[in-house]
Each structure stands twice: as C-alpha cells, then as structure tokens.
Amino acid sequence: MTDWGKRGLILALAIMALALPASGQLRSTEVALNLGNVLGSEKGCDLKFNQKAIEDYIDKNVQANDMGFTSMLNMMTKVMASDLRRMGDSQKTAHCAQIRRVARANKFITE
C-alpha cells in the first residue's frame, strides 16, 4: 500500500472513530490512532518515553482480546514518523510542543 493509500485509510478510520459512538472496536481504533501519533513522534521530537507508562496506558485503554489494536498502532506510528520528516520547522515545533504536553499528561515523560 502506498503512503497515500495508508493515509487515506487512517483518515477514514479516524473519521469513523470520531463520528460514531465509542463501542469497543471504535474506541480501540481511536486509541491506536492517537497513541500511534504520540509514539511515532518520539524520535522526531527528541523525546524518551517511559516504557512502563506506555504499557500501563494500554492496559487501561485497550481490551486484552483486541487483536487489531497493534496493527493499527504500528501503521499509525510509521505514518507519523514519516510525516515528521516532511514537516516544516514551525509545524514541527507546534506538533512537538503538543506531543510533549500529551506525553507529560499521560506520564510517558516526567521532565
């Protein structure tokens, strides 16, 4: 699948996740999209995440029997890492500022 095909799929899933009530699968998709956005920003934003905090977040927000979560998370993480390499300086600054705030709020970083 091309980068544009992946982006289209992710956009469609994001719209579904936000537009429909939070059932188990939709909630899982939303968590995978958002967590993938954060995790995919780790290197590009020069952050180092607490691995235990990530595990705790997943334990709290993803059902144990959810077999689709990791594939969606992996795809979103790769897309975000790729997108960061293409961002202009100001866009990257704004993106990383918010990712840092989200990571801090979820205890992924403590700085």
On whether residue 110 sits in a domain, the answer given is no
On whether residue 41 sits in a domain, the answer given is yes
**Residue with more model confidence, 90 or 29:** 90
On whether residue 72 sits in a domain, the answer given is yes
Domain count, the chain: 1
On whether residue 56 sits in a domain, the answer given is yes
On whether residue 65 sits in a domain, the answer given is yes
pTM: 0.77
- Alpha-carbon span 74 to 69, nearest angstrom: 9
Q: Is the pLDDT of residue 1 over 60?
A: no
pLDDT category, 2, cuts 50, 70, 90?
low
Average pLDDT along the chain: 86
On whether residue 111 sits in a domain, the answer given is no
Q: CA torsion 101→106→110→111, rounded to 10°?
A: -10
- Domain containing 43: what range? 3-105
